[in-house]
Structure 1
């Protein structure tokens, strides 16, 4: 049985899932998002599927279908749920079936799944209501997995980029966290997801998995993906142009390329048998 504890008043809650104008802003340039955002390690996909009872997958916040296409390539049947109709339309054009809505309010119409996944999306979902919904739609023994590719910048890049954000976007979250260790920031999201899973009393003890990999970016590649960041999707064009110019200059000073050590972090648990 899925249980939901009483919620405290959220008037002062700054959780990302409450910032709907940001959560549903990524479709402003869905094609850019799809071509610039990183994919996920094959080893992660294989491990999730090995821990799932089958290959019927629900992708929460599927966006343009980046990870949905990877699971489809692994032999899965994938259904996406996505609140932004522009992102959903892009995913559909790549062959992914998508239904529009926020996951917490989405009607599964009696359907159940072997795995519920969320790639770089679970922080936009209420962690308790979302976990309860995941428990409802998972078959006994089904696997829940939310994951994020955590970029660990080289120190030179982290310092230079933070200075740019503080110069042009002093009130943005980017300026507050740009030079903090990324893994520390993401542990907050992982902890919230962990807590939400436990509060449903419907899952096994949550686990964290980690998959390390690297990617080298050219100047143009990095600048291309900057406008897809949640803190920048609504930035005025002149400010965004200044940010891109100064970050481009910083990358030029590093020789025109830099390498990011990514750690794809997973919070996961399986649905208890009824």
Structure 2
């Protein structure tokens, strides 16, 4: 992902994690939904394989990107989302959404066949969240925690890192390496698996990986970049300076580049009652 440890791949909430940061992504929900990549259809299908029903709970559903894909696969989806702006956008696309953090959300007696968290689990305590998810799943139901790893080419990532440090040197995100290895992200998802094991309520967790590519023009990447963690709370002049630097870098590549994406998932089936 672009330099920042931002919102996607931490094994637990980073020191900067806060309700204010967590809800900063709703500052432009339309842009977020328009620019953010969707998830591999093979991932959605694999999550649903073997489940006995099609009731899905989407934790931190955002604008409903993942929820909409599960609905298209024939599921009944309920989203839980703390940001009212994101929740309203998801409702406008036809999803049912209840506004709350996962920890505070009251499910009543509702049960689900799959509980999913798309790029949102790091805002949840990984052990307490797994325990709560277990209580919401029917026997054999699946918990699936997933997100994208995306590191732009060095020719794009390095000018971004330099510009970010220049305009926001005091940011907790400043000074991060321009690009980070996939194994760093895989380690975070392995930690999710460790917390799931601790509940003793799931079968052995699995780590899934889906590799794919997506091409970006200059305008497409500059549309996505402001939706990433660390940039959502910058002043307009700071953001402009960063986007100008990144735009010039993409221009030097001929106006576009191809991104190598990896979508990682930690997933486990709810153990049957003994």
Aligned residue number for residue 248 of structure 2: 249
TM-score by length of 2: 0.91
CA contact (8 A) 1:69 1:96 kept: yes
* TM-fit CA distance, 1:14: 5.9
Partner-residue secondary structure (3-state), 1:111: coil
- What's 1:40 paired with? 39
> Residue in 2 aligned with 1:8?
none
- Return the offset for 1:104: 1.5
Question: Which residue is 2:160 aligned to?
Answer: 161
Show structure 1 runs of 5+ residues with no match.
1-12
> Would you say the 8 A contact 1:17–1:125 is kept in 2?
no
Q: Which residue of structure 2 aligns with residue 75 of structure 1?
A: 74
Paired with 1:24 and 1:192, the residues of 2 have a C-alpha distance of: 24
Contact 1:60–1:117 (Cα < 8 Å) also in 2: yes
Q: Would the alpha carbon gap of residues 222 and 174 (structure 1) be closer, same or farther in structure 2, given more than 3 Å must change?
A: farther
Corresponding residue SS for 1:80: strand
210-219 vs 19-28, which deviates more?
Answer: 19-28
CA contact (8 A) 1:17 1:126 kept: no
Q: CA deviation at 1:190?
A: 1.1
| Residues 2-27 of structure 1: CA deviation (Å, up to 9, x unaligned) | xxxxxxxxxxx963694221111111
Aligned-residue CA RMSD (Å)? 1.7
In the alignment, does 2:173 pair up with 1:181?
Answer: no
Aligned partners of 1:208 and 1:267 also within 8 Å = yes
More displaced 10-residue stretch of structure 1: 231-240 or 37-46: 231-240
Q: TM-score, normalised by structure 1?
A: 0.91
CA 1:18–1:159: 2 relative to 1, 3 Å:
closer
Q: Distance in 2 between matches of 1:122 and 1:165?
A: 26
* Matching residue of 1:3: none
Q: CA deviation at 1:152?
A: 3.2
Q: Which residue of 1 aligns with 2:206?
A: 207
What's the offset of the Cα at 1:198?
A: 1.5
Instruction: Give the conservation status (yes or no) of the 8 Å contact 2:190–2:207.
Output: no
